[in-house]
Every structure is written in structure tokens, then in C-alpha cells.
Structure 1
Amino acid sequence: MDDFARHYGPVVLITGASSGIGRSFARLLAARGLDVVLVARRRERLEELADTIRSAHRVEATVLSVDLAEPTAGREIVDAVAHLDVGLLVSNAGFGVKGEFGQEDPGVLASMLAVNCQAPTHLAHGLAPLLKRRGRGGVILTSSVEGLIGCPYSAVYSATKSYVNALGEALWAELGPAGVDVLALCPGATDTEAPRLQGVDPATLRDVMSPDDVASSALEHLSCGPTHIPSAHYRGLFEALLSMPRTEALTSMAKSMRSTRE
């Protein structure tokens, strides 16, 4: 067992594991010898992934089919893994929508708040005391570069990811002295289902990273929190935006987004 597995093992809990970055986390962590608990709504996809992981890496793979939009989801998951020695939480599940704020479906926005903010809060709250008692472990909260500034035409999504960034930074400071690493992961454009579900043509995106590269970069930088932007392009882009007067940055972003929608 290597140092990574000793510090973050023996079990990792991953939400949003049925596709994209979450699926990549599951495969990469299983390859490092950690048992995985896979959480998402789509049980069939999870079972397929679990079978692949068991066969390829000879580790345990547990499937939990849970809808994270439900108010009790976080507690249900924490209770389900209470008998396991979870050393790493990867709270990866999340979704967003693009469009004019006043035209968005209120029900969808409520679900977004539940999945993107409520679920990671409840999971981290349930597992943090256990991780502190262990004196080692980690938490990865998948956020977004859109959480670094309010993004016009992505208002609620960027607000939820700003929450995730703040939560990650606070937990990094709280849990670090106990030996628990915390990282808010802020990807830019990534080759997942998400852009298409948001009505974005992936061909219009620049410097798109693969989910494997995003997850791998997060694991490499887990001990270097509190935040990490894996893409050099988006790191430079948002450094430039954040160096501008706020009103100028927001006006520029809104103008750019309007031009792509016309």
C-alpha cells in the first residue's frame, strides 16, 4: 500500500460517479487500491462501473442509487457508509443551466441548490467528525471556475459554486490541523455530458480537458488546497478577470455571453 492509499484509504465515497469526472475519480482511485462507494441516480450505470472496477482492480465497489436533490439524501448516504472506514469524500455531483435568470424554471433552480449546495454540506458535515478522529483523510468538493465570480446567464450555477468554494476554503482551515486535506476543485470546460445538458455545443468551447485529466490533477494537488484550477487556460483567464474592476469584468462577461446567444 502506497502513502496515498494509507492516508486517504481504505474507502472513498464518490457522488456523481455514473459519468464524467466522478466516473474518472472512481476508476483512478480504485487503481490506487481504494475500495469505492459509488453514488448517483442511475443504478444501471453504477452497477456497470462497479463490475468493471472489481474485475480490473480487485477492490470492493458498493453502489448507492440516491437522488441528491432529495432533502434526506445526505443523511441517507452517511448512514449507509457508517460501517465503513471512509477516508476520502469526493463530493462531485452537480449540474447547471445556462440562460436568462428570470426565464429559468424555479423547480430546476431549487434542485440545483439541493444538489450543488445542500448535498455536499450534509455529506461533509456527516463525515468531518469521523475524518478528524482518524487523524488523516481528505475531502474533494467539485466546484467550477464559475464559482470565482458571478457569471451572467449562469447566475444560480455560479452562485452555488461560489458557495462550494467558500465551504471548501473554510473546511481546509478547520480540518487541516487534524490531518485532513480539503480541496475545492474548479474545472473549466470539461468533456462531459454537462455542456450538452446545458444546451452548449462542446465544439464552441476552448481548451476542453478530459475528465480523466481533471480528476488526476485533483488527486495530484489534493494536499495543496484550498482551491485548484486544473486548466492553465482557465487559470489565466480568470486571473485576468479577477484583476479587473468588478463592474468591468461583469459587463465584459455579460456582453460576451449575449453575443453567443444572438
Structure 2
Amino acid sequence: MTDFAQRYGPVAVVTGASSGIGYAFAGQLAGRGLDVVLVARRGDRLRRLAEELRDQYRVRATVVQADLADPAAPARILEAVDGLDVGLLVSNAGFGVKGRFEDTDADVLSSMLAVNCLAPMRLAHALVPRMRLRGRGGVLFTSSVEGLLGCPYSAVYSATKAYTNALGEALWAELEPAGVDVLTLCPGATDTEAPRLQGIDPASLQDLMSPEDVARCALEHLAEGPTYIPSPHYRGNYATLLSMPRREALTMMARSMTK
């Protein structure tokens, strides 16, 4: 834990920290001795979490209430961390929508692009130069296995996560000589609010992982990069899909989604 804090501390920024994987990241990073900057829309949840982390781990926990769908949000976050020695960015916030592409509200899809693509890019663009100067640090993007292949009935979400995967892989190669680690995390089914918000019963999902296990696996593999799938089931599943002819894989996925 001391080595981790020396490499990625003293401060970590975690977006989407009010629930799910982001909440788990915040707790585990505080447990490793890092001060945390907690970012999410729901300020009441963030304030409770910050108080818990201060009491349990004796770390500093800063709350930044921000909706990353707002184009001005990244600038407000960066203003809040001005003067802090940020060694780790955990760009975890994101959301998705299931259903036919044309049936989804275009404004919702635009917000998804802002949250899943624009905000992570803006935050990384501002914080990476600081890490280069330090000669150490890390960037962790939470993506999805759906970013590995265009997913029917999840078209825009999988497209945003394909962007995240490409961004993370490219930055891994750029920053490796500078001593800055980059990991793109691609979870499969995870027991968070997300499935329920999409009308999916988590109990119906195969090989469901807990947010705590996903976050723990990601932090343990942060130095290895560039892309990591924590679930053995989904690693095998997507290895099979990606080995198939593209048309066949996409057709099979579309049929499975309509059952």
C-alpha cells in the first residue's frame, strides 16, 4: 500500500463516486492512504461518503458536486483541484441506454457523449501534464466490454466506450516512457445501479461481479495496462466474439439481445 501511495498519491480524483464502481474506488483508494476528490451529481451522497472516509481512514476527502453532462463541469472540477498534487485520475462516471437506436431521445444520447467521452478527455488532458512533470502517476478509465465490439441495441454506449478504449490505449503508449500508467478497465456485468436503471434485473445477468471486486482488480492491475477485463467469463466470451467474422458476431449479438 505504501508503494501504491508513493506512485499514485497523494491525491486521487474519482468521478462517479456516489455509487457503484466509483464508490468502491473511493473507499479502496482512501484505504491505500490517498486523499480523494469525490465527483458526482448527487452531493448528499458524496458528503456522506467523504465523512465516512475521513473518519475511517483519516484522509482528506473533497467533494465536488458536478454533472458531467454539463460542458462546463470539467473546468469546475479542475478549478477545485488547482493546487492539489493529483497523482491519479479515476475517470469512472458514465451511463448507458439500452434499446433501438432511433427510439432513444437524441438529447440523452448527446449527454451520453458528454459524460462518457468529452469529460474524461478534458480531465485527462489537463491532469496528464502534471503527472509528466512528476514522472509518476496514473490514469484509469472505466470503459466496458461493450467497447470492444459494436453492440446492437446499445449502439451509442458501445461507441462511447470504443472511444474510451482507443483513448486509453493511445495514452498508455504515449505516457509509458514518462512513468505514467494508464489502464482502461472493461467490466462485464456488475451489480450497480446501472442495470436497474436500464430495466434489467441484475439477477438475470451472467457472472455478475460486485463493484468492490471490479475496483480491487483494477487497482491491482493499474501498472500493467493498457486494457483489462476483470471477469474471466467476459474475457473468454469476447475473445470468442472477436475471433469470429465481424458480421457473424454482430448478427449473433443482435439475435441474443432480442430474445
TM bucket normalised to smaller: over 0.9
Q: Which amino acid aligns with 1:121?
A: M
Give the equivalent residue in structure 2 for 1:102. 102
Report the 3-state secondary structure (helix = DSSP H, G, I; strand = E; otherwise coil) of the residue aligned with 2:223: helix
Deviation at 1:75, TM superposition (A): 1.7
Q: Deviations over 1:56-106 (max 9, x none)?
A: 000000000001001111122112101100000000000000000010011
Choose 192-201 or 147-156, whichever is displaced more: 192-201
Deviation at 1:121, TM superposition (A): 0.4
* Percentage of identical aligned residues: 70
Write out the 4+ residue segments of structure 1 that deviate beyond 2 Å after TM superposition.
Answer: none
Give the equivalent residue in structure 2 for 1:54. 54
Report the 3-state secondary structure (helix = DSSP H, G, I; strand = E; otherwise coil) of the residue aligned with 1:233: helix
Separation (CA, whole Å) in 1 of partners of 2:181 and 2:75: 22
Give the equivalent residue in structure 2 for 1:182. 182
- What is the TM-score with the length of structure 2 in the denominator? 0.99
Give the equivalent residue in structure 1 for 2:233. 233
Report the 3-state secondary structure (helix = DSSP H, G, I; strand = E; otherwise coil) of the residue aligned with 1:174: helix
Structure-to-structure mapping, 1:48-87, within 5 angstroms: 48-87=48-87
Choose 199-208 or 182-191, whichever is displaced more: 199-208
Q: Deviations over 1:120-163 (max 9, x none)?
A: 00000010101100100000000000000000000000000000
Give the equivalent residue in structure 2 for 1:29. 29
- What is the TM-score with the length of structure 1 in the denominator? 0.98
Q: Which amino acid aligns with 1:188?
A: G
Q: Which amino acid aligns with 2:233?
A: H
Q: Which amino acid aligns with 1:229?
A: I
Contact 1:75/1:126 (<8 A) preserved? no
Q: Deviations over 1:171-217 (max 9, x none)?
A: 10111111000000000000000001111111210000000000000
Separation (CA, whole Å) in 2 of partners of 1:238 and 1:128: 31
Separation (CA, whole Å) in 2 of partners of 1:41 and 1:28: 21
Q: What residue ranges of structure 1 are gaps of 5+ in the alignment? A: none
Deviation at 1:119, TM superposition (A): 0.4
Q: Which amino acid aligns with 2:92?
A: N
Deviation at 1:2, TM superposition (A): 1.0
Q: Which amino acid aligns with 2:127?
A: L
Are positions 1:132 and 2:137 aligned together?
Answer: no
Give the equivalent residue in structure 1 for 2:211. 211
Are positions 1:255 and 2:248 aligned together?
Answer: no
Q: Which amino acid aligns with 1:98?
A: K
Give the equivalent residue in structure 2 for 1:199. 199
Q: Which amino acid aligns with 1:40?
A: A
Separation (CA, whole Å) in 1 of partners of 2:112 and 2:160: 8
Aligned residue pairs total 259
Give the equivalent residue in structure 1 for 2:118. 118
Separation (CA, whole Å) in 1 of partners of 2:199 and 2:107: 18
Separation (CA, whole Å) in 1 of partners of 2:82 and 2:176: 22
Give the equivalent residue in structure 2 for 1:10. 10
Separation (CA, whole Å) in 1 of partners of 2:174 and 2:75: 22
Give the equivalent residue in structure 1 for 2:157. 157
Separation (CA, whole Å) in 1 of partners of 2:167 and 2:37: 23
Separation (CA, whole Å) in 1 of partners of 2:73 and 2:228: 27
Deviation at 1:32, TM superposition (A): 0.6
Contact 1:67/1:73 (<8 A) preserved? yes
Q: Deviations over 1:197-245 (max 9, x none)?
A: 1111112100000000000000000011000000000000000000000
Give the equivalent residue in structure 1 for 2:20. 20
Separation (CA, whole Å) in 2 of partners of 1:188 and 1:216: 15
Q: What residue ranges of structure 2 are gaps of 5+ in the alignment? A: none
Provide the aligned C-alpha RMSD in A.
0.7
